[in-house]
Structure 1
């Protein structure tokens, strides 16, 4: 699985037998059949013979025979979905569509079959160019779901690993410029709603079909509730770069937890959030916490010097920090590591898989065809051994080699 090259034929069937099927609906022993790029059928017990469809001869592999994968009791889950990732394999979203093949290969090898690629804060013309490049990639790679602009409409006091010179309050012209550059492929934007024009920007992005995330913000509890009422439906990497959850000042985390419309992103790498706090979040909002990587260029690489937007980053012992500081600069996480961490911290496998699959799919409004093992859903699958190590990955019905 070193590359993302896919193999398979459009009308072929692939039947997975003797699998422990795990998704948001639970765990059961059974079988699953793919036809083309979708799940055709799922069941318990022994798999029936495939039913031919007119014109496809029942589906076949390159040798003319239906493909059967004996899972031998291994876990079979939906493909993982990462809605917040800056890169990997030595490259970032700002490096351009062609360079991002290296980042996609790293994450796909670890079970992430669909991704939203995130850009950091930059001057509006520069960020617009990055979003246009990500639109090009989205249009030619069906596994890329679109882009995420993390900034530049962020609070200076909560900037994290964002260039302070690029931060600004939003204007209608800024919003329109980014939306137009993305050509309908921007899936989410992170902003601080307390900035001048912040709530108007929330409404303007939502009207353009962009999910809005509250993040990198000084907003209080009441202000966060106002942002969610204005249409924001996400909280960017909960607990990080925002007002803390305090008993007399509960802040945006509490506002997000109590609002069933909101999905909370969580970086479960043992660095961004203490495991005990992460478990509180996961228990308080079942099905509404989406595990993300917030991965930067060093993911899949080694320690050393990297760039995140305009900033120098040093990675030491796998932890990414803005050079010369103790400020976290994204992560080197992959979602399979997050899965194992969630289970080790006390979640059931079903709960952990939900946070990697249906929760992010639902957050993007794509739950009708992504993130579940159900007929009509995308043929995105991950085979895991008993140690929850990824052994094989399928995306859009094709095995990734």
Structure 2
């Protein structure tokens, strides 16, 4: 039994001053608003927040999730863990069928082990005009046969698939995914407002990096952005890096969704935490300059160099309270992928905690009841 006390504890419902967290094994047993009786570990810092949950990550620390190499995933997950991300999906990009199938087989053991929480396919069922940094040579219409092979090979490892709902067969694919227990997300889409609503009605419950890779909203054709922000059943991913979204856009979007439907994500690629220079994403050359990743051939944003602790700080800087920012960085994305065992500082959840200083920088990270080294 471990007792932690010291800084302010951020729960999904508010801030507990001078309270304590009781941990039993790898689980939070209790969170109380008082000092504990007996010996307790006094945690130096300003805040205890839940371990972050990133449902859209392509890599980090020089490691790419898009290569099909399990060691790259282990090392990239370790990089993000040091920045407070205790649960993440490994996001893959558009590629031919065989590499997709090989990646599922390679990564499924990592899901079973708990290194990652699942696989997210961001492609290949995307809109050509809105494919962004995705390789257009490998885009194709949704295929139930292909999805069946991927899901069967993963044995539950595939957790989310992004689809453009206007494509032929997209609605059938969304319904198929939902029936198989996989989250269907809408993204990289040129859909109209009505086509987006049809995708939501079919069961899509996540908007992939809303505003980015989408037909822009217009007052006479609101497109996917308005439909996703307004849909009560949809969690909207938001990349809070000041590049994908202006802080005013971030503030507006979260004012529409509220923290219960806004999920901060990194969309990070291998260059996160690394110097500027040349990288790749899904076989395409990427140049990182001033921390911004773009395709070398063209100007499309190619993921980000963001970490979740920076996303949290950006959200607070844009006007979110620490309670709402922590909810958007942990509780809401966890719920979006059906993980109610993580994502909050409350009894019964896994003991995933992040200790922050007054500037909201990471001091310590706990995953499953074990303290890890701070970020370098």
Using the size of structure 1 for normalisation, the TM-score is 0.90
Match of residue 210 from structure 1:
182
CA distance in 1, matches of 2:311, 2:322: 12
1:28 and 2:1 are equivalent in the alignment = no
Cα 1:73–1:109 change in 2 (3 A) is closer
Q: Report the Cα distance in structure 2 between the residues aligned to 1:363 and 1:229, rounded to whole angstroms.
A: 17
Q: CA deviation at 1:48?
A: 3.1
Counterpart for residue 8 of structure 1:
none
Structure 2 distance, partners of 1:383, 1:48, is 22
Q: Distance in 2 between matches of 1:175 and 1:14?
A: 44
- 1:272-303 deviations in Å (ceiling 9; x for gaps): 01111111001111110100000001111111
Q: Which moved further from structure 2: 99-108 or 303-312?
A: 99-108
Q: Which residue of 2 aligns with 1:6?
A: none
Whether the 8 Å contact between 1:158 and 1:242 is mirrored in structure 2 is: yes
Which shifted more, 70-79 or 253-262? 70-79
Task: Assess if the C-alpha contact under 8 Å between 2:91 and 2:119 holds in 1.
Answer: yes
Q: Alpha-carbon deviation of 1:249?
A: 1.2
- Is contact 2:11-2:345 (8 Å) kept? yes
Equivalent of residue 29 in structure 2, options 36, 40, 45: 40
**Match in the other structure for 1:92:** 64
Tell me if the contact between 2:77 and 2:115 (Cα under 8 Å) persists in the aligned partners: no
Q: Is the 8 A contact 1:303 1:314 kept in 2?
A: yes
Q: Which residue matches 1:347?
A: 320
Q: 1:361 aligns to what SS in structure 2?
A: helix
- Which has the higher mean CA deviation after the structures are superposed, 390-399 or 24-33? 24-33
Q: How does 1:141-156 map to 2 (within 5 A)?
A: 142-156=114-128
Deviations 1:173-197, CA, capped at 9 Å, x for gaps: 1111221222211110001111110
Greater displacement, 119-128 / 40-49: 40-49
CA–CA distance in 1 between the matches of 2:85 and 2:206?
A: 20
Q: Distance in 1 between matches of 2:334 and 2:60?
A: 22
What is the aligned counterpart of 2:310 among 330, 333, 337? 337
**1:197 is matched with which residue: 151, 161, 169?**
169
Q: Which of the residues 328, 336, 341 maps onto 1:363?
A: 336
Deviation at 1:73, TM superposition (A): 6.0
| CA deviation after TM superposition for structure 1 residue 143, in Å | 4.3
- The question of 1:289 aligning with 2:265 is answered no
RMSD: 1.2
Conservation of the 8 A alpha-carbon contact between 1:132 and 1:183: no
* 1:2-401 equivalent positions in 2, closer than 5 A: 13-29=1-17, 30-49=19-38, 68-72=40-44, 74-95=46-67, 96-140=69-113, 142-286=114-258, 287-367=260-340, 369-401=341-373
Cα distance in structure 1, aligned partners of 2:75 and 2:275: 14
CA contact (8 A) 1:124 1:178 kept: no
Worse overlay, 85-94 or 145-154: 85-94
| Cross-structure match for 1:60 | none
Range with bigger deviation, 40-49 or 78-87: 40-49
Deviates more, 1:245-254 or 1:105-114: 245-254
Q: Tell me by how many angstroms 1:221 deviates.
A: 0.8
Question: Structure 2, unaligned stretches of length 5 or more?
Answer: none
Say which SS state the counterpart of residue 108 (structure 1) adopts.
Answer: helix
Measured after TM superposition, the shift of residue 351 of structure 1 is 1.0
Q: CA deviation at 1:244?
A: 1.3
Could you tell me which runs of 5 or more consecutive residues in structure 1 were left unpaired when the two chains were aligned: 1-12, 50-65
Alpha-carbon offset, residue 72 of structure 1: 4.5
Q: Which deviates further from its counterpart, 123-132 or 111-120? A: 123-132
CA distance, structure 1, for counterparts of residue 299 and residue 323 of structure 2: 35
Distance 1:147 1:365 in 2: 14
Q: Kindly tell me the number of residue pairs found equivalent between the two proteins.
A: 370
Structure exhibiting the larger radius of gyration computed from Cα positions: 1
Runs of 4+ in 1 over 6 A off after TM superposition: none
Deviations 1:366-390 (A, max 9, x none): 22x2111111111000000111010
The answer to whether the 8 Å contact 1:93/1:130 transfers is no
1:250 is displaced (CA, Å) by: 1.2
